[in-house]
Amino acid sequence: GAVVSQHPSWVICKSGTSVKIECRSLDFQATTMFWYRQFPKQSLMLMATSNEGSKATYEQGVEKDKFLINHASLTLSTLTVTSAHPEDSSFYICSARAKRVLDGYTFGSGTRLTVV
């Protein structure tokens, strides 16, 4: 079945530094990927839609200059959290469409980011 690999699974960084999270579709091409953020005991919040070869579409209230998304190939999207602050600490999850239009999206295993 469709597999999405997300890396790293957890990362700790210092305030003011940048962190890059990778999301790869392993056995299929994904022209569209999605990035979510999840705070403890809350649901997933969609941050942005990542489109291969074009700019990402950000949800209202998400700072595009802080959360840089690059979708340079059909199998790779990256999310870079720039100038990270402790309030950016969260669980970040990517997803991609599986092969068939009616199939559900496949999700990565998530990245736990802790900013100290």
Partner 1 sequence: DAKTTQPPSMDCAEGRAANLPCNHSTISGNEYVYWYRQIHSQGPQYIIHGLKNNETNEMASLIITEDRKSSTLILPHATLRDTAVYYCIVRVAEYGNKLVFGAGTILRVKS
Q: Which residues bind partner 1 (CB under 8 A)?
A: 4, 6, 31-32, 34, 36, 43-46, 49, 51, 91, 93, 95, 97-98, 101-110, 112
Q: Based on CB atoms, which residue is closest to partner 1, 13 or 91?
A: 91
CB of 81 to partner 1, least distance (A): 18
* 2 bridge partner residues: none
3-state secondary structure of 102: coil
Q: Based on CB atoms, which residue is closest to partner 1, 11 or 82?
A: 11
Are 81 and 19 spatial neighbours (Cβ–Cβ below 8 Å)?
Answer: yes
CB of 14 to partner 1, least distance (A): 23
56/34 Cα distance (integer angstroms)? 9
Q: Based on CB atoms, which residue is closest to partner 1, 32 or 82?
A: 32
Tokens of 100: 């068939």
CB of 110 to partner 1, least distance (A): 5
DSSP class of 87: G
Q: Based on CB atoms, which residue is closest to partner 1, 74 or 107?
A: 107
Are 111 and 22 spatial neighbours (Cβ–Cβ below 8 Å)?
Answer: no
